[in-house]
Each structure stands twice: as structure tokens, then as C-alpha cells.
Amino acid sequence: MDTESQYAQALAALGHDARLKVFRLLVKAGKGGLGVGEIGQHTGLAASTLAHHLRMLVAAGLVLQQKNGREVRNTVDFPKMREVLDFLTSECCAGVQLEQVKPPPAGWPFLTNNPIKK
């Protein structure tokens, strides 16, 4: 991942409660991952619903799938997860200089076209 849109896609995938639950379960499972049936047992999600959510997590680059015979094993792509976490925290506590923020226009908030006054 190297663009903000890719990070946004990963975060959006985690923005649904069912996908977040599945992802956290897979993180807990570790490198061995879980089969689709095992995930369904833990989450209570119907097979078709689970398949949809797994597709979204795979498309976002957060989950890897490997087929072993009839079983599909799902694992977290831990390096990708670390990239997303690093992106979120890379500028933590770096500070923001107030000079970069534009001051409000003269007369604010008493401007005639002020949407707040309406």
C-alpha cells in the first residue's frame, strides 16, 4: 500500500461491524488463520453474508485466502495490517503549526451570508 486511497479502502473495509468482528477474530487466530466454517461458527454469520464480508476484506488487502482441497483458509496479511497502523500513527503527536490554519474572515460570525445565523 502506498497511497492514501488504498489506506482509506482498508479502513473502510473495517468500518462495518461484521467485517471488523471477522478481522479481529482472524487477528486472534494468528498465522494459522481459520476456515470459512470456523469463522461462521464463531461469528454466527450466514455463509453467503460471510463470503461477502471476506471478499471485501480480501479486496482491501487485509485478508489472504488459500485453498487447501475443499477448505479455504483465511489469514490476516499482518505486514499490510502493520502498514495501515503505521500510516495512522506516522505523524502522531508531531504537532500542527497554527500559521497553517487560515484565520476566519473579518466580520465572522456576523457576515450576511453566514450559514450559522440562518
- Which DSSP string do the residues of 6-58 spell out, in sequence order? HHHHHHHHTTSHHHHHHHHHHHHHGGG-EEHHHHHHHH---HHHHHHHHHHHH
Domain coverage including residue 35: 4-88
| pLDDT tens readout for residues 54-102 | 999 999 999 999 998 999 999 999 999 999 999 999 988 888 776 767 7
With respect to residue 24, please indicate whether it lies within any of the assigned structural domains. Answer: yes
List, for residues 17-52, the tens digit of each pLDDT value: 999 999 999 999 999 999 999 999 999 999 999 999
**What is residue 6's predicted lDDT score, i.e. its pLDDT?**
93
Does 115 reside within a domain? no
Tally of structural domains, the chain: 1
Q: Is residue 107 part of a domain?
A: no
> What per-residue confidence (pLDDT) applies to 61?
96
Please state whether the peptide bond connecting residue 109 to the residue before it is cis, i.e. omega within 30 degrees of 0: yes
CA 41 to chain centre: 23
According to DSSP, the residues that pair with 73 across neighbouring strands are: 35, 66
As given in the structure block, the three cell numbers for residue 108 are 465572522
- CATH code of the domain containing 51: 1.10.10.10
